[in-house]
Amino acid sequence: MKRIENIGVFTSGGDSPGMNAAIRAVVRTGIWEGFDMYGIYRGYEGMIDGQIEPLYSHSVSNIIQRGGTILKTARSKRFMTPEGRQQAFGNLEKHKINALVAIGGNGTFTGAAEFTKEYEIPFIGLPGTIDNDLYGTDYTIGFDTAINNVIEAADKIRDTATSHDRLFFIQVMGRDSGYIALWSGVACGAEFILVPETKTYIDNLTRLVKHDIRKNKTSGIVIVAEGDDAGNAESIAAQVKERMPELETRVTILGHIQRGGSPSAWDRMLASILGYASIKALKEGQQGVMVGLINKQIVYTPFEEAIKNRKGIILDLLEMSRVLAL
């Protein structure tokens, strides 16, 4: 294995709060260990286009508290082609970058797995996505901030829902994963939580809404994960309304508000721990792995394994949420 000289760091896929804290940790630990650090802008896109610049300790000052990513991010179709990857490797060689740290999600690690099959380069991944759907870590960087963003909005909606005796359908992010819906739903006391992992039966939902009304509930919140099989929040609200025309319903789609804002203390902490661990992993000779935290221990999961497996939600929490909201 070649001696590591320069390390490139980049963010890729959907941004998540805490990515900056991770960049800071990677860069400063790298410098501490004696490496020259480079920032690659706009993820794999910037690697292909040669958007690469040196990063110093001061380059990452004053960013731990900022959402988004100073390195920008993108989803790259070109990196999925051998030509794109070859061009990217050429640009790394120009800067003598012979090790990489990527902060991103499933798509990022899929690209990394392909790249490391073709080119011999130590490559470490850090889990950065609000979805918390990555296998090999209990939490991903950004999830905690995202669910706090959701409950802040849901608490406000609760005020107006109660005043008007309305049933609100709040759509949250999570194309393929109900993590955000489930955790924010429990934390805001939602009456119903609809996730892609379980089938949603509108008749069943309507029956439960009627049951709540009989129990003297006059308002409520339904958290809908955007990937729910019964449709989006608009469509589910319409289907319930069709069965209960007397019900006053409203729909709020939270959208990208969930992904922004200053990272929570936990996301900053997690990002710092994993960013520091990524450089230690490179020094130990690790390659082609995602660094995660499971039961408070650093765990390395090979990219192939991280991509192949899905971290499922704890379905018991769904039942619990219903009991607690009754």
Catalytic residue among 131, 212, 228, 267: 131
Angle, in degrees to the nearest 10, between helices 233-243 and 202-214: 60
42 binds ligand F6P (CB under 6 A): no
129 binds ligand F6P (CB under 6 A): yes
Residue 316 is among the residues annotated as catalytic for this protein: no
- Rule CB under 6 A: choose which of 77, 96, 175, 310 binds ligand F6P: 175
The 77-106 contact track toward ligand F6P, x by CB under 6 A, reads ----------------------------x-
Closest CB to ligand F6P among residues 50, 260: 260
17 binds ligand F6P (CB under 6 A): no
The nearest distance, CB 196 to ligand F6P, in angstroms, is 11
Stretch that binds ligand F6P, among 61-69, 83-91, 168-176, 268-276 (CB under 6 A): 168-176
130 binds ligand F6P (CB under 6 A): yes
14 binds ligand F6P (CB under 6 A): yes
The nearest distance, CB 138 to ligand F6P, in angstroms, is 18
- Rule CB under 6 A: choose which of 55, 123, 131, 313 binds ligand F6P: 131
The nearest distance, CB 148 to ligand F6P, in angstroms, is 15
The nearest distance, CB 151 to ligand F6P, in angstroms, is 16
173 binds ligand F6P (CB under 6 A): yes
Sheet of 249-253: strand order equals 192-194, 220-225, 167-172, 249-253
195 binds ligand F6P (CB under 6 A): no
Greatest alpha-carbon pair distance for the chain in Å reads: 71
The nearest distance, CB 204 to ligand F6P, in angstroms, is 25
- Rule CB under 6 A: choose which of 174, 185, 196, 275 binds ligand F6P: 174
- Rule CB under 6 A: choose which of 158, 259, 268, 311 binds ligand F6P: 259
Angle 140-294-130 from CA coordinates, rounded to 5°: 10
228 binds ligand F6P (CB under 6 A): no
Known catalytic residues?
Answer: 131
What residues line the site for ligand F6P (CB under 6 A)?
14, 105, 129-131, 173-175, 226, 259
